[in-house]
Chain A
Amino acid sequence: MSTAEEHPRSLTRQLVVAGVVFGLLQIAVFGLLIGAVRAANDANQRTNQVLGAVQSVSDLEKGVVDCETAVRGFVITGRDDFLDPLVTARAEIPDEERTIRTEVPDSSVSTLLSPLFADIDGYLHQWVDPVVTARRTSLTRAERLVATGGGKRRIDDIRAQFAAIRSGLRSDAQSSRDDAHASVRRAVIAAVAGMLISAVLYLLYGFYVRRSILIPVRQVAATARRMAAGDRAARVEGADTARGELGAMARSYNVMADTLEQNHDELEAQREELSDYAEELEAQRGELERTIAALDAEKTRVEMTSAFGEAVAAEAGFAPLAHLILNGVADAVRCEAGALYVRDARRGGDLALATARGLDPSHLPEIVLPGDGLAGRAAVELRPVAATHQAQSMRVQTLTGPATISHELHVPLLQAGEVFGVLSLGRLADVPFAEADIVLVSHLADQSGVALSKAVVLRELRRRDTITRAVLDAAPNPIALLDDGGHPVVANEPMREVLPLLRERPVPAVADQVVRDEIEDDRTGRIFTRYVARLNEVEVGLHGRIVVLSDVTARREAERMKDEFSALVSHELRTPLTSIIGYLELLRDDADSDGDDPRARQRAQFLTVVDRNAKRLLRLVGDLLFVAQVEAGKLSLDEGDVDLGAVARESVEAAAPRARDGGVELTLEEEDTPLVRGDRDRLAQALDNLVSNAIKFTPAGGRVVVRLACEYDRAVLEVTDTGIGISQADLEQLFQRFFRTQRATSAAIPGVGLGLTIAQAIVHGHDGQISVQSRDGEGTTFRIELPLLRAAGVTA
């Protein structure tokens, strides 16, 4: 077998070698044949050529003979027409000689030609021509010449030569003919020999094919027939030693036969086993029929579960869903009583009673606390908890009266691993909860989980939505949420009335900060302050702007009326004051010139009092207007470079008479201070107010110091007094308008409580700061700081 496998192609090689040998043999035989035929052909051609030469030689000889005949005739007759054949022959002789030279083969014969041709030439010139010439002269001379017999000798000699040549040529032709015959013979021999050898080789080949291919194939075929006939032991004999492809085929066949036999045996064994099984199966069939009956029951249960699931999934309302779940589960496991607790946001996420079955809800706990009771345990342990009660131990109040629960089962409702409800079931009948019951309840609980948790979320969403709507609609301000295209997504009740306004006044784009603008409704004349904030809650897909309107119509109207009122008051108060103060001045001028008249002096004194009070009234009007102006945000400063030193000096100078009258020492401490940028009159007004206050609240014998200094980048004006001071409580409200300290009021110190308010407004208007320090009974210091950064850079 190993040998065969090493030369699996030996048969192919042998067949190829045999084919090549056949081919070569055929080519050799054909070569021999062609060679012999060609040789024969050559010999024939040569023969024909020689025969042609013989003909030509004969023609030449005939020409020469014709010449002799013509000459003899001429001699006898003397007539020229007897010479015609001579002329013709003489003309043809050279051509014929040339033909003979080409036709005569290169052999011993060819050497004979030249002497022949020379003799012919000699004959013609040395015999014929003289004879002809002689005859023309005289017959006698010619006859004499002829009588010499010269001509006859010459002719005989020539004819002898012709005979020799012809004989030689005939001999050549004979030999060529012999050659041709020999060649033909060889060809016949080669053909016969080739055919014989081929026949022998074909016989050998046939024998070889029979032995190497047919026999082994027949063996395999016979074996196959035997096997087909049922002889499983049939094998190809000698396959192990056989070589080549057929050997391999035979061995493969044997292997196949082995395998087949083996398989057959195995199949046989299996068949026997199968027949055993068949009996067993028959036995099992009975069992299966019983199982099918059980499965039918299960199918009914599954259908019930499925119907339950569909019903649950179709219900979105929380209360009907809770009812559906509890009753569905209770019916499935034949429970008369039950309760469903579900997580409730309104109860801070506790498990609250959602619905009850067969039990009086008012006798059930409103909430289940984790770990409390069996339901609480189920909620904590995340698994069903079942319990059996001894007779009479578990009395409950049902809707139809007291009853006894024999068995109870609590199953947690889970969503994403979290408890969001507990299903509690009770049986009055003394039938314990079977394992299948618990599994079924758990299954149904799982099924209701998603729907119930969705309903819970939905209920919460509705609740919040309701709250949001209620709050929004209750708000007096129009509120809306606009999408990115500016269309309202949400608008509360007040906003719905003014939505057209939002469309007319495009809401500005906003970034992070709240943008505020003012819009007016041309139809109603209402004015709104509009606040716009960006809303960008990517997670819930909310983009847009929140718009809140605040109706400021009334406020604007009030402001306008106040402005008008202020202008009116100002004008109406100032005009009479103008007359009063003007005429007073004229009167006092006249009084001064009245001299020492005591009555005139007294009159002048009265006029001074009237003048002072008129000016106080005027100042009060000015202060009121100023405060109104500040509140309206209309404080405008007439800015220039201000020399605070000059302002302080003027202020002290102006207040000096009042200080003197009050017995207060008023002094100025002044450092060189750069100019500040500001409204000189207003700054003077602020300082005047402080100085005037200090004098008012300082008893006789006290001191008031006005100090001007430079501290870092700020100019500082301080007014310090040794007055009555301000209590801590009053300090906090000191700068409020119309505020007066308790002490000022009780001591009847004049004023309306605007001075400090005005001073503060002015200082703030200059980006400055005003502060106060005071100790009760010891005195007060007001301090104004103004930024020097606003300075013009010129030192006063």
Chain B
Amino acid sequence: MNAPLVLLAEDDEDVRALAELVLRRDGFEVIAVADGDAALAAAEARPPDVAVLDVSMPLMGGLETARRLRDRDATSGVRIMLLTARVTDADRERGRAAGVDDQLDKPFSPAVLAERVRALCEGGPNREHDR
């Protein structure tokens, strides 16, 4: 069985490298991009199992990227995790409205990231939707 594919969109190079490293270590195949457009292009080319999107990226943020992924037939079923710099409680609401499956506040523990992505991958209980 092939390793699950994770699409990682994060504009900060260091954070992107950290997340990529941790996910690869955990056995995922990772495509890492730096912005929303690239993420959409990559997802179009090869729909991932899970998309991990940073909420604040230049030009197109994680929320907009998530909405577009949902709107496209090829990627509408992709599990989406949002990486947030949670400023206000309203931010979490916005993520939920955009249809993401999980949200992880920055800074995050690498172990927790890997664990939550795995959970999404296996289609396990979805915290955001169950709430």
Contacts and interface: CB of A to CB of B under 8 A. Distances in A.
A566 B87 contact: yes
Interface in B93-131: 93, 106-111, 131
Nearest to A626: B88
The secondary structure that dominates the A interface is helix
A636 interface: yes
B110 A582 contact: yes
A579 to B, nearest CB: 4
Interface in A330-348: none
29 contacts: A566-B87, A567-B87, A570-B85, A570-B86, A571-B85, A571-B87, A574-B107, A575-B15, A578-B15, A578-B106, A579-B12, A579-B14, A579-B15, A579-B18, A581-B109, A582-B15, A582-B18, A582-B22, A582-B107, A582-B108, A582-B109, A582-B110, A583-B18, A585-B110, A586-B22, A586-B110, A589-B111, A634-B89, A638-B89
A23 B14 CA distance: 161
Interface of B: 12, 14-15, 18-19, 21-22, 56, 85-90, 92-93, 106-111, 131
A640 B130 CA distance: 13
A571 B89 contact: no
A753 B88 CA distance: 21
Contacts of A629: 87-89
B102 to A, nearest CB: 15
User: Which bracket fits the contact residues of A?
Assistant: 20 to 34
Given A571-B56, A579-B12, A579-B15, A635 B87 contact: no
A567 B90 CA distance: 12
- In the A-B complex, the 4 residue pairs with the closest CB atoms: A578-B107, A636-B89, A579-B14, A571-B85
A700 interface: no
A635 B108 contact: no
Given A566-B87, A637-B89, A578 B18 contact: yes
Given A625-B88, A640-B131, 20 more contacts: A567-B87, A574-B85, A578-B12, A579-B18, A581-B109, A582-B18, A585-B109, A585-B110, A585-B111, A586-B110, A589-B111, A625-B87, A629-B88, A629-B89, A634-B88, A634-B89, A636-B90, A636-B93, A637-B89, A638-B89
Interface of A: 566-567, 570-571, 574-583, 585-586, 589, 618, 625, 629, 634-638, 640
A447 to B, nearest CB: 78
A709 B52 CA distance: 43
A574 B55 CA distance: 12
A570 B93 CA distance: 18
A581 B107 contact: yes
A625 B18 CA distance: 26
A671 B45 CA distance: 58
B87 A578 contact: no
A629 B87 CA distance: 8
Question: For A567, A571, A589, A629, which residue has the most chain B Cβ atoms within 10 angstroms?
Answer: A571
A514 B109 CA distance: 52
A638 B19 CA distance: 28
A575 B12 contact: yes
Contacts of B93: 636
B89 A578 contact: no
Contact of B108 (A570, A578, A583, A625): A578
Nearest to A575: B12
